Amino acid sequence: MRYNQFLGNILAAALEKESCGDKYDIMLNEIFKAKRLGKRDRIWVSDRFFFYLRHKLFFDEVSENSEICAKNIAMIFEDEPDEILTEKIENLHKNGTYNRLFNESFPEFLSNKIRSLYGSDTFSWFNSKAKTVLRTNLRKISRDELSEMLKSEGFENSPTPLSPAGIILEPTNKSLKNIELFAKGFFEFQDESSQLASLLVNKNTKTLLEPCAGGGGKSLAVSSFFKDIKVTASDSRTYLFKEIKERAKRAGTRIETAAFSDISSDFDTVFIDSPCSGSGVIRRNPGDRWNINEKILSDLNKLQSELIRKFAVKVKKGGELIYITCSFLERENEEIIQKFLNENKDFSLISAEARLSENIKNSTGFSEITNDLYFRTKPFSERDLMFGAVMKRN
């Protein structure tokens, strides 16, 4: 194998900073800017760095230092291991640890949870690279029209199976953020699971509060799917309101923003897109698997329970409370909901499957994204793993 030593050294530098706690994209971009790398070289380093994160236990086992690790990554990535690496791999097969280190490269408690929930075959899906998914802004254009326009600009795509607005893009190195279709607000970047979660909203809702709005992705989706709903976005990070306003303007819609202290009225629907471990999106963020631990989960569980209690009081009588996470861990999902329902007898669960059937016409297959009364997507599709519960205030 011809090894690019210059790029290998940059990859090694990234590996040395891997445990610093920075966001990996931010960390890599800082390195790329410092080295003035072009687009092709950035892709070379990024692809191999994230490949490492997906198989970290293996590479740490067979590599003595970051320089050797960078070369080992390149050799495995291109399926051209040298004699030394081949011998190490053979030894791992002999002692029965190869599969655990390479294919099931997760913290032990997370790998055990994946195996118990979904089976060992699922690890290949968790380690695969997620495709880019768009949500058509139905206020401005139909999905079919947008699909054809994207194809005319060289972006091959296909419709999502269930969301009426979703478009799955085939892999490409071309940037979508620089094209006119994005500038005109014809689409946003949003996984199909997030789109479907937004479709858990009651279509008869008049007012909706999203108290953990972040950059406003779910608020924008609700505004696109339900044109008559007045959406209010809030967040403890009020500096994000500027981004929400800009995105809403581009989308051709209006989203109100309000700090927690300024929320005085009650709402037909309160939509809590709760902070969580992100375990359901580790295909997109492979490094996050190494940041999920018992302390983080314990702190998140406290916050999740606090948020759902705090904002449940903002639901009008007869209104609905929707709780969403991008996690597949029961302790962030079903356990939080059951605890809340046990303490709040005036709320009861509504079938997520029935709600999706109401909002998405002429579609079947909702059983593959629901479990009991909950919204719960599953592996082996081009969707992130998400959880959702719809509760009515009696």
C-alpha span between 259 and 231 (Å, rounded): 14
pLDDT at residue 244 in the model: 97
pTM: 0.93
Packing angle between helix 39-54 and helix 5-16, nearest 10 degrees? 50
Give the three-class secondary structure for 346. coil
Q: pLDDT digit string (tens) for 232-288?
A: 999 999 999 999 999 999 999 999 999 999 998 999 999 999 999 999 999 999 999
Q: pLDDT digit string (tens) for 135-163?
A: 999 999 999 999 999 999 999 999 999 99
DSSP designation for 260: G
CA angle, 112 then 114 then 118, to 5°: 125
| pLDDT at residue 129 tops 80 | yes
Work out the average pLDDT over 319-323: 98
Give the three-class secondary structure for 393. strand
pLDDT at residue 364 in the model: 78
Q: pLDDT digit string (tens) for 18-59?
A: 865 568 888 999 999 999 999 999 999 999 999 999 999 999
Least confident of 110-114, 152-156, 359-363, 388-392: 359-363
